Amino acid sequence: MKDLIERLFSLPRQQKLGILAGIIVLLLVFDYLFVYDRLAVQISELEQSVGTARSDRDKKKALVADLPKLRLMKVEYEARLKEAVAELPDQKEIPDLLTNISNKARESGLDILLFRPKPENPQDFYSEIPVDVTVRGGFHNLVAFFDQVGRLNRLVNINNIEMKNMKPSNDDAVVDTTALVTTFRFLSEAERAKVAADKAAKEKAKK
């Protein structure tokens, strides 16, 4: 080792500088490979963690800022839900509702030729109750009947309206009108479970 050091000191100045430069380069390469490279990975991971934390912080700030708005929306949605619930009767109210609709037809001056409930059509949480209706009377009486049904505090749709056998009568026209009157009711918990089970069975059968 002593001989090696003496040889190095005896070398010309340019060779000494070259060896020194080589040693410095080796130290820099060693530092990069074994120190900086590992630190770079840790720095990158820390930067990602900081970025994620900042993103979460910004999201939470936005939620806090929107909290009054979200509370107001919650109140509005709850009010709408109550209105929707009020428009969908349960099973025991359906006969009275259908009677009410037929009474509206008579009160409007129409003759009921047909009032025939059809099989229910269950959906996820409610059931459609369609009724085939045929009435006879003046056109203005028919419009009054539709208006009365529209004013009910229950949800009732009138579709598939068809008019025929129109006959003039004084200042009006008597016409036979057929329509599909559909009302709705909430399903009970047991009925909803059965609908869900039937739906799952059909999906499984398709596969």
Q: What is the pLDDT of residues 40-60, one digit of tens each?
A: 666 677 777 777 877 777 777
Kindly state the average pLDDT of the residues 190-197: 86
Residue 39 counted as domain residue: yes
Domain count, the chain: 2
Q: What is the mean pLDDT of the chain?
A: 77
The last residue of a domain, from among 69, 87, 105: 87
> Which is more confident, 203 or 112?
112
Same domain, 18 and 56: yes
What confidence category does residue 112 fall into, taking pLDDT thresholds of 50, 70 and 90? very high
Which domain range does residue 149 map to? 91-193
Residue 137 counted as domain residue: yes
R_g of the chain, CA atoms, integer Å: 41
Residue 80 clears pLDDT 70, i.e. is over it:
no
Written in H, E and C, the secondary structure of 132-188 is EEEEEEEHHHHHHHHHHHHCCCCCEEEEEEEEEEEEEECCEEEEEEEEEEEEEEECC
Same domain, 60 and 147: no
Same domain, 66 and 137: no
Total-model pTM: 0.54
